[in-house]
A and B are shown apart, each in its own frame.
Chain A
Amino acid sequence: DGGITQSPKYLFRKEGQNVTLSCEQNLNHDAMYWYRQDPGQGLRLIYYSQIVNDFQKGDIAEGYSVSREKKESFPLTVTSAQKNPTAFYLCASSIPNEKLFFGSGTQLSVL
Chain B
Amino acid sequence: GDSVTQMEGPVTLSEEAFLTINCTYTATGYPSLFWYVQYPGEGLQLLLKATKADDKGSNKGFEATYRKETTSFHLEKGSVQVSDSAVYFCALSLYTGGFKTIFGAGTRLFVKA
Contacts and interface: CB of A to CB of B under 8 A. Distances in A.
Interface stretch (B61-69, B71-79, B101-109): B101-109
A64 interface: no
A48 B97 CA distance: 11
Nearest to B2: A59
A11 B16 CA distance: 42
Contact of A58 (B34, B95, B100, B106): B100
Contacts of B46: 99-100
B40 interface: no
B93 interface: yes
A49 interface: yes
Interface residues of A, number: 27
B32 interface: yes
A73 to B, nearest CB: 18
Contact of A40 (B43, B95, B101, B105): B105
A56 B99 CA distance: 10
B103 A97 contact: no
25 contacts: A31-B99, A33-B100, A42-B6, A42-B104, A42-B106, A43-B106, A44-B103, A45-B100, A45-B103, A48-B98, A48-B99, A49-B98, A50-B98, A94-B99, A94-B101, A96-B99, A97-B32, A97-B93, A99-B34, A99-B46, A100-B36, A100-B44, A100-B101, A103-B43, A104-B43
